[in-house]
Amino acid sequence: MTEPRETLRAENIAKSFGPVAALRGVSLSLREGEILGILGDNGAGKSTLIKILTGFQTQDSGRLFVDGNEARLRSVDHARSLGIECVYQDLALANTLSVYHNLFLNREILHGGPIRILNNGAMRKRAAELLDEIGVHIPSVDLPVERLSGGQRQAIAVARAVNSDARILLLDEPLAAMGAREGGLIIDLIQRLKGKGGISFVIIMHNYVQMLEIADRIMLMQRGRVTYESHSQATSVAELMEIVRREYREMRSA
Amino acid sequence: MTVRSGDRGRLLGRFLRWKEASILLVALILVGYFEYANQDFLLTGASLQNLSQFIAPVAIITCGEIMLMIGGEIDLSAGMVFALAPFILYFANDAGLPVLPAALLGLIAAGLVGLVNGVVTVLLRVPSFVTTLGTLFLVNGLTLTISAGTPVSPPDAPIFAAVMGNWGYSEISWAVGLVVVMHIVLRHTRWGLHTIAAGANPVGAREAGIHVNRLKIGNFVVMGVLAGLTGILEGFRISSFDPQAGGNQIMFLAVAAGVIGGTPLAGGSGTVIGGLIGATVLGVLSDGFTLIGINAFTFNIILGAAILAAMLFNIHIARLARGGAGD
């Protein structure tokens, strides 16, 4: 069996904010159709890494490769044009807008002609089809997003990334502040999307149990470095906890 | 076709769920009251023209304020820009420029004040309340200085003047036309959609690749131009450019019209049509109380109380309708 091709590669990424070093040389590799889980405490550098991978921030040093080609990500738009899309922790949804407007935010379908009028009908129809396709069930695409539950909102955020033809999907705490049932819906959604093929995932999470359930491979980040890497089947919650505990003791005694 | 009572209830429910319904109800009740109290309120040409002159300037300015309020911003200087633009027109015309390009110059000056408001607010991160409080005094002082504090007569250009406010229905035509345009901009273009998105979730909008700063500055410029245009229209309507015209009264009425119409100051949502209805409510109150002959001193007491009542009614009817809808 041939290895799936590498879609994303980071080499020695470093980033400081003034005197604070958020990333001290992080490398990762992501293959097509793979789910890479990144675990780590607050301040481990996970979110900074995601922001660099999406072009929201630029690294101080280190190199990025997308589909084998070196890419210096200039902006979110640039990263997006390469197929990288992020679903942020703070949910980039506009709560007062309808589900379909959110799904097409900044990628609206317009009527032809010189006056660029929104084609709401087409967006509404496409939105309903898309949600149906990936198995997200909500009462109506006309509802403002604020009327949906946390899980439904997260699903809409994921669906939006899928709608943009993202091939590399970055998920920052997709299950934060969600009950087990709602979280389960999102895990199912991610697995359905993975099953459809063509999309690779980088997922950031706090919860080790859920992470081992969902990810193919695990990376543990601590204080701006990758301290441990393993296939999910080859590790356990206990082992991960032990590594974190050891690091914590070192930090305390230092 | 017969309508069963259940259908009628559903129709009423749907009407009340329509965002602008409750304030429209307020407007209709007020019109009904004043028509009853003063038979000559609505149904003659002269009284209709009179009423429209109360509504139009507030309606135009509220369009700009609503776009800003959706983004959580406000422009306190609009009433002073209103007074400035006609004088730019006057002096440009005085210096030999034909009246049309002179008017454009007036609008450009108004837009420039908006640009300054936007740039200082967005790029230098001064709250717009503070920025525009500053430009309020600055622009007022500027207008008083260049005009030496005295009103002037508008340029003698009968056709231009008629189109720009002097004909009885021209100002309300401008107002309705601009409300339609701004409604389309808000509801049916990316500009409007992104303005709402940026108001509801600025960080999220930025992450989605929306140029939030450009959008906000643009809306400040639109506000400036609309305020300047209103000042020019009013100047031609009353055939006098007055450095004391407009001012804080009209600016606050415009903000009130927006809020009464259903645009929260907190941002994230808004309605231009609601703003027009809000301006109508205020116009009906002003015109109605004037016709009834309320004492000038008590006028503001009643107007203020009526604004509060209209706002409370609007907010609570909207909440009841949403709660009662049960979905």
A95 vs B: CB within 8 A: yes
**A92 contact B CB<8A:** yes
CB contact under 8 A, A76 and B209: yes
The answer to whether residue A100 neighbours chain B at the CB level (below 8 Å) is no
Element (H, E) at A203: strand A200-205
- Min distance B274 CA to chain A CA atoms (Å): 17
Q: Closest partner residue to A92 among B194, B201, B268, by Cβ?
A: B201
**Set of chain B residues whose Cβ sits within 8 Å of the Cβ of A139:** 327
Chain B environment of A118 (Cβ under 8 Å): 188-190, 193
Residues of A in contact with B190 (CB under 8 A): 106, 108, 110, 116, 118
Nearest to A106 among B203, B209, B269 (CB): B209
Q: What was the pLDDT predicted at A119?
A: 95
Q: How confident is the model at residue B231 (pLDDT cuts 50, 70, 90)?
A: very high
Which candidate from A97, A108, A139 shows the least CB-CB separation from B190? A108
- CB–CB of A106 and B207 under 8 A? no
A96 touches chain B (CB under 8 A): yes
Rounded to whole angstroms, how far apart are CA atoms B49 and A175? 60
Is there a contact between A105 and B184 if contact means CB atoms under 8 Å apart?
Answer: no
Give the phi and the psi of residue B128 in degrees, each rounded to 5. -60, -25
Q: How much is the average pLDDT of B123-132?
A: 96
For residue A123, pLDDT beyond 90:
yes
Distance CA A54, CA A170 (A): 8
Phi and psi torsions of A125, nearest 5°? -65, -45
**Neighbour-count burial for B43-58, b at 16+ CB within 10 Å, e otherwise:** eeeebeebbbbbbbbb
Residues of chain B with Cβ-Cβ distance to A77 below 8 Å are: 209
Q: For residue B199, what is the nearest residue in chain A, using CA coordinates?
A: A94
Distance CA B108, CA B114 (A): 10
- Residues B244, B170, B105, B187, CA torsion sign: positive
Residue A168 pLDDT exceeds 90: yes
CA distance B61 to chain A (A): 24
Indicate whether A102 pLDDT > 70: yes
Strand A225-231 versus strand A217-222 pairing type: antiparallel
Task: For residues B2-23, give the mean pLDDT.
Answer: 62
Which DSSP category does A232 fall into? G
Write the Ramachandran bin of A165: left for phi over 0, alpha for psi from -120 to 50, otherwise beta.
Answer: left
Q: Which of B203, B209, B268 sits opposite A80 (nearest CB)?
A: B209
Per-residue pLDDT at B325: 41
- Other CB atoms within 10 Å distance of the CB of residue A120: 19
**Cα–Cα distance for residue pair B73/B262, rounded to 1 Å:** 16
Q: Which among B193, B201, B204 has the least Cβ separation from residue A101?
A: B193
pLDDT (average), residues B36-58: 85
Tell me the C-alpha distance between B53 and A24, whole Å. Answer: 67
Please name every residue paired with A201 in a beta bridge, in sequence order, or none if there are none: A35, A169
The predicted structure's pLDDT at residue B197? 95
Check pLDDT > 80 for residue B86. Answer: yes
ipTM of predicted complex = 0.81
Q: What mean pLDDT is reported for chain A? A: 89
Question: Distance between CA B286 and CA B205 in Å, rounded?
Answer: 40
Residue A18 reports pLDDT greater than 60: yes
Interface membership of A20 toward B (CB under 8 Å): no
Residue B63 contacts residue B182 (beta carbons within 8 Å): yes
CA distance B94 to chain A (A): 37
Q: In the structure, what pLDDT confidence band is assigned to residue B313 with cuts at 50, 70 and 90?
A: confident
Contact A5/A53 with Cβ under 8 angstroms? no
How does residue A206 score in pLDDT terms, banded at 50, 70 and 90? confident
Give me the mean pLDDT over the B293-314 stretch: 78
Interchain proximity A94–B184, CB inside 8 Å? no
What pLDDT score does A186 carry? Answer: 87
pLDDT at B274 exceeding the cut of 80:
yes
Contact B208/A106, CB-based, under 8 Å?
yes
- Asked if pLDDT for residue B29 goes beyond 80, the answer is yes
Kindly tell me if the per-residue pLDDT of B316 is higher than 80.
no
Contact across the interface for A117 and B184, Cβ inside 8 Å: yes
Of B188, B193, B209, the CB nearest to A77: B209
Cβ separation of B201 and A77 shorter than 8 Å? no
Place of tokens 């990144």: A38
Outline where B128-246 has alpha helix (H).
128-147, 158-161, 170-188, 190-200, 202-207, 212-237
**A135-152 as b/e: b if 16+ CB within 10 A:** ebebeebeebbeebebbb
HEC letters along B239-287: CCECCCCCHHHHHHHHHHHHHHCCCCCCCCCCCHHHHHHHHHHHHHHHH
Cβ of B196 within 8 Å of Cβ of A80? The answer is no
Tell me the pLDDT of chain B averaged across its residues. Answer: 89
- Taken as a whole, chain B contains a residue count of 327
The Cα–Cα gap between A236 and B122 comes to 49
On whether the CB atoms of residues B37 and B292 are closer than 8 A, the answer is yes
Phi-psi region of A55 (alpha: psi -120 to 50; beta: other; left: phi over 0): left
* Residue B108 near residue B81 (C-beta atoms within 8 A): no
Asked whether the predicted pLDDT for residue B252 surpasses 80, the reply is yes
- Which chain B residue's Cα is nearest to A104? B208
Give me the amino acid identity at A190. Answer: I
- Mean pLDDT for B297-319 is 75
For CA atoms B155, B161, B164, B168, give the dihedral sign: positive
Give A86's contacts in chain B (Cβ within 8 Å): 207
Using a CB-CB distance cutoff of 8 angstroms, which residues of chain B are in contact with residue A164?
A: none
User: What is the DSSP track for B82-117?
Assistant: HHHHHHHHHHHHHTT--HHHHHHHHHHHHHHHHHHH
Proportion of chain A in helix, strand, coil states, percent, rounded to 5: 35, 30, 35
In this prediction, residue B1 carries a pLDDT of 40
CB contact under 8 A, B268 and A86: no
Q: Using the predicted structure, report yes or no on whether residue B324 has a pLDDT greater than 50.
A: no
Work out the average pLDDT over B188-193: 96
**What residue spans define the domains of chain A?**
6-15+24-253
Q: What are the strands of the beta sheet with A225-231, ordered from one edge?
A: A84-87, A168-172, A200-205, A35-40, A217-222, A225-231
* Chain B, nearest residue to A147 by Cα: B327
Q: What is the DSSP letter of A116?
A: -
A198 CA: distance to closest CA in chain B (Å): 22
* Residues A116, B184: C-beta atoms closer than 8 Å: no
Q: What is the mean pLDDT of residues B228-239?
A: 97
Asked if the Cβ–Cβ distance from B190 to A88 is below 8 Å, we say no
Q: Under a CB-based contact definition with an 8 Å cutoff, are residues A243 and A39 in contact? A: no
Check whether B9 has a pLDDT greater than 70.
no
Superfamily of domain A6-15+24-253: P-loop containing nucleotide triphosphate hydrolases (3.40.50.300)
pLDDT computed for residue B262 by the predictor:
85
Q: Answer yes or no: are the C-beta atoms of B157 and B146 closer than 8 Å.
A: no
Give pLDDT, residue B134: 97
Question: Which of B271-301 are b and which e, b meaning 16 or more Cβ less than 10 Å from the residue's Cβ?
Answer: bbbbbbbbbbbbbbbbbbbebeeeeeeeeee
CA distance B58 to B65: 10
Whether residue B322 is predicted with pLDDT greater than 60 in this model: the reply is: no
Check the CA dihedral B151-B156-B160-B161 and report its sign.
positive
pLDDT, mean of residues A97-111: 94
DSSP string computed for B213-231? HHHHHHHHHHHHHHHHHHH
Sign of CA dihedral B7, B8, B10, B15: positive
